[in-house]
Structure 1
Amino acid sequence: MRVTLLGTGDTTGTPTVGCDCATCERARERGVERSRFSVHVENERTGECLLIDASPDFRHQFQATGADLPDAAVITHIHFDHLDGLGNFYRLLDDLPVHAASEVDPFTGESVADSVRERYDYLDVVEVFGQEPLTTFAACGFELTLVPVDHPPMACYGLVVEDPETGAKLSLSGDTSYDIPEASRDALRDPDLLLADAIVPASLAPKHPMGGSDVVDGVPMTFGTKHMTREGAIRLGDDLDADETRLVHVAHYYPPTEAFAEPLAVDGEVYEL
């Protein structure tokens, strides 16, 4: 299993357009990017490729990395920075199976699968398949499981990707607070690689209108209510016994002295599991 981090940033990315903050300037100086979130997983046994979330930065990401076009995709939730790249498949592929959760989101009144299907009903290449959360399904020679996480007010899912032949396991937290349900934690547990949402360091929680939450030993594991802090994501990796944890969905609000320190990821990183 070869995992390529196509996009490791939050909704505006780093450097953010029009921003001259010290962190964005440092990113430009270093020649690194954190574009909107997306992950490419290649099954080296079968030659198939899976796309996890479809970033609006799709074209740039695939050009920059040379990643092969996907044979299937998974969408974790319907925020634009995880979804709107699907429109890029026009004239690139004849068909793209897209998997998403089938349970109805009380906030939107429809499932993620139905929302994707409705939004891209004009795009013949996209065929949406609803999948029941916490139930394993197959794609690209992998065993996949969508797991409910906590990203209020709408439904959002993490993902487990396992190779049944090699035993390699990739877990993604999805966009979430630290308050991930126990059943989902059980499914995510013991990965070779965990990609964990870590939008800002805990030190910035007082700047959020809702502060921080899920406080452990005086440190907020969640920034506001929707995303983990750096400290929460690292703790989640420890909770799940991850062999390696990389922090993604990172905002440009990290101080420049911390923004490129381990274990924060940048675009283009590749992992062989």
Structure 2
Amino acid sequence: MRVTLLGTGDTTGTPTVDCDCDTCDAARERDVERTRFSVHVENERTGEAILIDASPDFRYQFLREDVSLPDAIVITHIHFDHLDGLGNVFRLLDDVPVFAADETDPETGQSVAETVAADYHYLDAITPDARTPYEPFETCGFEVTLVPVDHPPLVCYGVVVEDPETGAKLTVSGDTSYAVPDRSRAVMADPDLFLADAIVPASLCEYHPLGGRHEAPDGTPRTFGTKHMTREGALALADALGAGETRLVHLAHFYPVEDAFEDPLAVDGEVYDL
């Protein structure tokens, strides 16, 4: 299993357009990027690949990293930065299954799969494939499971990808607070590689209108507002899951420049062979 981090940034990416903060300036000077979130997972035995989330930066990411086009796509939720790259399949792919959860979201009245079907009904290449959370399915020689996480007000799912032949396991947290359900944690546990949403350090919670949530025993917030984990929350979850290696993703340009490019914060283009 070869995992390529196509996009490691949040909805604005780093550098952010028209931003001259120290972190964005440093990213330009270092020639590193965090485009909108997306992960390429290749099965080198079969020559097939899964794309986890379709970034609006799809075209640029695939050109830059020179990875194969996906044979299957998994969508975690319907926010712009995870969904709207699906339009890029036009004239690139003849037919691609797009796996997404079948649970109805009370906020939208549709499941993620139904939203994909409605929003991209005009693209013949897209075949929505609704899947039930916690029920593994096979694609590209891998076993894939969608697991509910906590990203209010919308439903959102983490993704677990396992290779049944080698035992390699990738867990992607999805966009989530620290309040990942226990049942999901059990499925996500013991990954060789954990890609964890960590939008900002906990110290920035004081600037969020809702502050922080899910405090550690020492009072450190593990959730920024209500939707995303802090760096500290993501690392606490990684520890709870027993992750072999952890890379923090979905990162905002609000990280102080002295922390913004330090391990385990990921940047685009990282590759992991599991």
Q: TM-score range by the shorter chain?
A: over 0.9
Q: Tell me the distance in 1 between the aligned counterparts of 2:154 and 2:76.
A: 11
Q: Tell me the distance in 2 between the aligned counterparts of 1:184 and 1:107.
A: 21
Q: Tell me the distance in 2 between the aligned counterparts of 1:4 and 1:117.
A: 27
Q: Tell me the distance in 1 between the aligned counterparts of 2:224 and 2:54.
A: 24
Instruction: Return the offset for 1:94.
Output: 0.5
Instruction: Return the offset for 1:24.
Output: 0.1
Given the alignment of the two structures, is residue 201 of structure 1 paired with residue 201 of structure 2, yes or no?
yes
Corresponding residue for residue 107 of structure 2: 107
Aligned positions of 1:152-191 closer than 5 A: 152-191=152-191
Given the alignment of the two structures, is residue 60 of structure 1 paired with residue 60 of structure 2, yes or no?
yes
| Deviation sequence 1:171-191 (CA, Å, 0-9, x none) | 000000000000000000000
Q: Tell me the distance in 1 between the aligned counterparts of 2:139 and 2:20.
A: 42
Corresponding residue for residue 143 of structure 1: 143
Corresponding residue for residue 248 of structure 2: 247
Q: Tell me the distance in 2 between the aligned counterparts of 1:7 and 1:74.
A: 15
Q: TM-score, normalised by structure 2?
A: 0.99
Q: Tell me the distance in 2 between the aligned counterparts of 1:204 and 1:38.
A: 25
What secondary structure is seen at the aligned counterpart in 2 of 1:104? Answer: coil
Which sections of structure 1, spanning at least 5 residues, go unmatched?
Answer: none
Q: Tell me the distance in 2 between the aligned counterparts of 1:260 and 1:150.
A: 27
Aligned positions of 1:1-273 closer than 5 A: 1-216=1-216, 217-273=218-274
User: RMSD of the alignment, in Å?
Assistant: 0.4
Instruction: Return the offset for 1:7.
Output: 0.1
Moved over 6 A (4+): none
Q: Tell me the distance in 2 between the aligned counterparts of 1:222 and 1:249.
A: 14
Matched to 2:236, the amino acid is R
Matched to 2:261, the amino acid is F
Q: TM-score, normalised by structure 1?
A: 1.00
Q: Tell me the distance in 1 between the aligned counterparts of 2:156 and 2:61.
A: 23
Matched to 1:126, the amino acid is I
| Deviation sequence 1:120-146 (CA, Å, 0-9, x none) | 000000000000001100111100000
Matched to 1:227, the amino acid is H
Q: Tell me the distance in 2 between the aligned counterparts of 1:41 and 1:193.
A: 12
Q: Tell me the distance in 2 between the aligned counterparts of 1:219 and 1:93.
A: 46
Which sections of structure 2, spanning at least 5 residues, go unmatched?
Answer: none
What secondary structure is seen at the aligned counterpart in 2 of 1:220? Answer: coil
Instruction: Return the offset for 1:45.
Output: 1.0
Overall identity of the aligned pairs, in %:
70
Q: Tell me the distance in 2 between the aligned counterparts of 1:48 and 1:179.
A: 33
Matched to 2:226, the amino acid is T
